Amino acid sequence: MKYKVIALFLATILLSCAKQDPADQKQYLEGYWEIKEVEMPDKSIKNFDINLLVDHIEVTGDSGQRVKVAPLIDGTYNTNEVAEQFTLKIENDSLRMYYSTPYDAWKETIIRADDSILTVKNRDNKIYTYSKYVNKPIIEKQN
């Protein structure tokens, strides 16, 4: 009996650690994302407790855009309307976001994407972890 419990426990751990299907990750990218931490290449962690800006990601098919927005106290967002366009590609069993602007081109690799967490590795080997952001109005709008 003891061995069955141990085997069941190990099977559960192995299945929960399985890598996500990159095609399934696409469905979770869209939304507002707030940065929580960055893991540096030396494995040190920088935490972000307060964020004045959040990333708004929109996806249509295999492309999309990312815009920095500032949540306002009335529940709306302010933006400078500068959007970074990207293309999604699955390569080497990973979902990648390819960005291109007149000034630069780069890619990011999606490590994890679900309904509440987004983890992305950039070209500098920094790992960014975001949580889904929900903008809750502090004040009620007056009609």
So what's the pLDDT on residue 139? Answer: 64
Q: Which two tokens stand for residue 86?
A: 């990207």
Q: Which of 5, 126, 142 is nearest to 75 (CA)?
A: 142
Query: What is the Cα–Cα distance from 64 to 83, expressed in whole angstroms?
Result: 10
What is the third-level CATH fold of 21-132? Answer: Lipocalin (2.40.128)
Q: Is the pLDDT of residue 140 over 80?
A: no
pLDDT above 60: residue 59: yes
Whether the per-residue pLDDT at 20 is higher than 90: the answer is no
Q: Which of 7-21, 58-72, 84-98 is the least confident region?
A: 7-21
Q: Name the residue with tokens 């809750």.
A: 136
Mean pLDDT of 39-48: 98
Domain ranges of the chain: 21-132
91-122 pLDDT per residue, tens? 999 999 999 988 999 999 999 999 999 999 99
CA distance readout (Å), 15 to 11, 29, 45, 101, 109: 6, 23, 27, 39, 22
pTM of the predicted model, to two decimals?
A: 0.80
CB 82 within 8 A of CB 70: no
